[in-house]
Structure 1
Amino acid sequence: MSHFATLLEHLPQYPYITAVIAVSADGKIADRERAPARFSSPADRAHLERQIAAADGVLFGAGTLRAHGTTLPVRTPQLLRERERLGKPLQPVQIACSRSADLAPDLHFFQQPVPRWLLTTVSGAAVWRDRSTAFERVLAVPRADGTGIDWCRALTALADLGLHRIAAIGGGELLAELLACDAIAELWLTICPLLLGGATAPTAIAGVGRIEAMAAQLDLLSVEPCDGEVFLHYRVRSDRDGSDR
């Protein structure tokens, strides 16, 4: 066995992750008040549902869940039939991600007929220890220094649990963590025809950011204009040569 092949055996095996984002023409995912974004079209929401229907699991951050109060289940009969034909559960697993797990138990999310998981830290898991009906599974994957979720280990754990395709739908902090792990395989970006501006308005990728020389590189796969919006599909170039991406 070559040295290169030996190295590949030790690469973490991540799920295939598709990031799905709608932004204003100036790259904002919400306005300066961080109100729930409602600016995408029915066509974009249908596109998001198709991406969710193709996934085994859906990742979203606590801020996204608090803002909307719900997640997007698969409702379209054709998409439900296709999941059934493929032998998949009718709904993908909906995975809320939060260091603190400070989520209001009265959110409508907890009444939706979807499988719910929580990805958190040890202290976050303790918050939900006595609420066994809220989440089917609570995964505590802390960093060694206790500052948050160890995303590289968490993604490997999700793959080990059978979630091989994941749709990541925001927000910016979550996508920044996934990008830092070199875990995003493709990106669907919907450009919506409005300008929001504002230094406090969040963008698609948050975190500390990167210098240009270290920027993640994209290959454009398709461009589709539709009723004033533009649907862009990119492949994200990976440094994880030989991964299962």
Structure 2
Amino acid sequence: MRRLFPVTDRTPTATESEWSLDRLADAYAYPADGGPWLRANMVSSLDGAAQHDGRSQPISSATDMRIFGTLRGLADVVIVGAETVRLEGYRPARARDAFAARRAAAGQGPAPAIAVVSASLNLDFSAPLFTGPLVPTLLLTGSAAPPDRVREAEAAGAEVIVAGEGPGVEPERALAALAGRGLTRQLTEGGPRLLGQLVEARVLDELCLTVSPTLTAGDAQRITGGPALAVPDRFALASLLEEDGFLFGRWTRA
């Protein structure tokens, strides 16, 4: 691993090029002020695909997954869309010894909560995400969510949070509800539809994007979906790492 930005004046030694999880955690630390902060973590091929055959794993790498785990290890809550939960077979976040001391010092629990955004609550409540989490899975939905699905979700141990009028979820309201529960270190892993909604609402503070040195062709979705913004939202490069041709960038709101 080498740092391309911010630029340093010297070549890293062999030891420095081997980034530990602790060093990655320092590099991806949340802002020190403790206020609500929403970051997204996504991967894209060179030709803009966010997935291949419906999943992100084929365009990922071992280092990308280490960063994925590090970002989860720092977060209070992981926000994800229902379609991604179904496609990727989402499981509960697990406690990891490598982050235990850091999380304890920050007053965090052993693992982040998973918060699923779903209007219909069309989810498998017998899946491990609901039957075996260290902390209860959260469901962010609208006031028009089917009552029978709400009851089924709550019977499975999930906490249902109404964060919108009608069927949809309002991003600002959802994030405020999570922050009100002390979940201020917020991480979203998409998918593209959810990330597009967050971008449209201009609530994203940071994008962590892995650029994979792969080409997929086809008609795979980009990392964001939905309508185009009237005016592009400008972000500034905060850091850029490289390993085996993969680029790991962080951009924050300008």
**TM-score between the two structures when normalised by the length of structure 2:** 0.79
Corresponding residue to 2:233 among 211, 216, 221: 216
Give the aligned partner of residue 221 of structure 2.
Answer: 202
* Structure 2 residue aligned with 1:17: 38
Answer whether contact 2:121 2:141 (CA < 8 A) is retained: yes
Corresponding position of 2:151: 129
SS of the residue corresponding to residue 208 of structure 2 reads: strand
- Paired residues of 2:86 and 2:123 also in contact (CA < 8 A): yes
The answer to whether the 8 A contact 2:120-2:167 is kept is no
- Asked if the contact 2:40–2:189 (Cα under 8 Å) also holds between the matched residues in 1, the reply is yes
Q: Does 2:84 correspond to 1:64?
A: yes
Taking the TM superposition and a 5 Å limit, the aligned residue runs for 1:106-121 are: 106-115=126-135, 116-121=137-142
One-letter amino acid of the structure 2 residue matched with residue 151 of structure 1: P
1:226 aligns with 2:248: no
Residue aligning to 2:48: 27
Q: Is the 8 A contact 2:111 2:134 kept in 1?
A: yes
Which structure would you say has the larger RCO, counting Cα contacts within 8 Å and 6 or more residues apart?
1
Q: How big is the alpha-carbon RMSD for the aligned residues of Structure 1 and Structure 2?
A: 2.0
**Aligned residues of 2:145 and 2:167 also touching (Cα < 8 A):** no
Give the whole-Å Cα distance in 1 for the aligned partners of 2:158 and 2:212.
36
Q: Does 1:190 align with 2:210?
A: yes
* Number of residues of Structure 1 aligned to a counterpart in Structure 2: 218
Structure 2 distance, partners of 1:95, 1:132, is: 14
Matched, 1:80 2:97: no
What TM-score results when the alignment is normalised by the length of structure 1?
0.81
* Corresponding position: 1:173 with 2:193: yes
2:38–2:204: 8 Å Cα contact kept in structure 1?
A: yes
